[in-house]
């Protein structure tokens, strides 16, 4: 008999995926621009030397527009990649076609990444040591105001964060932020959650509007 928590997680993922896919390109673009401006204003972003981001997939909210803004100038961008042999997550550098912090930098960089497993963009540069990463922007199906993250069910980010604790920022559409989510012992809580409309600091429950 399937575990009730796993069944609930599976249902929530499917519902979130369907809602995400129903959004128009204009809605995604507008929300991505709002998100970038809000994330750029955070002290955790300003103070970070190395930022880990991800290329959006399957209708996810795009966090990479942050790289078009002045706050990204001089920073190092790290990108996730799954090792097919060990099924573990690591982060890599990728050559930047134009300087970060300039308009169009994000699009040029993402377009230069080849498609890898599952149709995901994959960085082609050298690995970045986990201890060098100051802030990790994480994808998710849903997030809770207490810092829980419902991922895709593979556990890659949870295993990485358990081994390499770091400031984390979950990013998604505002409807992806809910009051409560089912969790399991291995699920790693996030430090912050950002949507196009607000930022929640999960350790104290404070909410920052745009």
**210 falls within a domain:** no
**205 falls within a domain:** no
**CA 17 to the chain's CA centroid:** 15
**39 falls within a domain:** yes
**85 falls within a domain:** yes
Q: pLDDT tens string for the chain (210 positions)? A: 468 888 999 999 999 999 999 999 999 999 999 999 999 999 999 999 999 999 999 999 999 999 999 999 999 999 999 888 888 999 999 999 999 999 999 999 999 999 887 778 889 999 999 999 999 999 999 999 999 999 987 889 999 999 999 999 999 999 999 999 988 888 899 999 999 999 999 865 455 555
Q: How many domains does the chain have?
A: 1
Return the structure tokens found at 60: 């996810």
**10 falls within a domain:** no
Give the global pTM. Answer: 0.92
Closest CA to 44 of 205, 200, 188: 200
**167 falls within a domain:** yes
Q: 58 is in which domain, residue-wise? A: 25-139+158-189
Strand bridging mode 206-208 / 199-201: antiparallel
> Domain with 183 in it: what CATH number?
3.40.50.10420
**CA 210 to the chain's CA centroid:** 19
């Amino acid at each position: 008999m399937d575990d009730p928590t796993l069944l609930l997680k599976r249902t929530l993922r499917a519902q979130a995926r369907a809602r995400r896919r129903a959004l128009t390109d204009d809605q995604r673009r507008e929300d991505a621009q709002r998100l970038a401006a809000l994330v750029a204003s955070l002290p955790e972003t300003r103070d970070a030397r190395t930022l880990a981001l991800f290329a959006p997939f399957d209708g996810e909210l795009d966090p990479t527009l942050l790289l078009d803004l002045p706050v990204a100038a001089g920073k190092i961008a790290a990108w996730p990649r799954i090792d097919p042999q060990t099924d573990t997550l690591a982060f890599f550098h990728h050559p930047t076609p134009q300087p970060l912090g300039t308009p169009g930098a994000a699009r040029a960089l993402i377009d230069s990444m080849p498609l890898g497993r599952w149709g995901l963009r994959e960085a082609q540069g050298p690995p970045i040591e986990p201890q060098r990463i100051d802030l990790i922007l994480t994808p998710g199906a849903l997030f809770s105001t207490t810092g829980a993250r419902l991922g895709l069910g593979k556990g890659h980010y949870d295993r990485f964060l358990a081994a390499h604790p770091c400031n984390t920022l979950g990013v998604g559409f505002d409807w992806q932020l809910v009051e409560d989510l089912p969790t399991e012992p291995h699920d790693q809580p996030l430090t912050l959650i950002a949507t196009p409309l607000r930022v929640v600091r999960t350790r104290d429950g404070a909410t920052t509007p745009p």
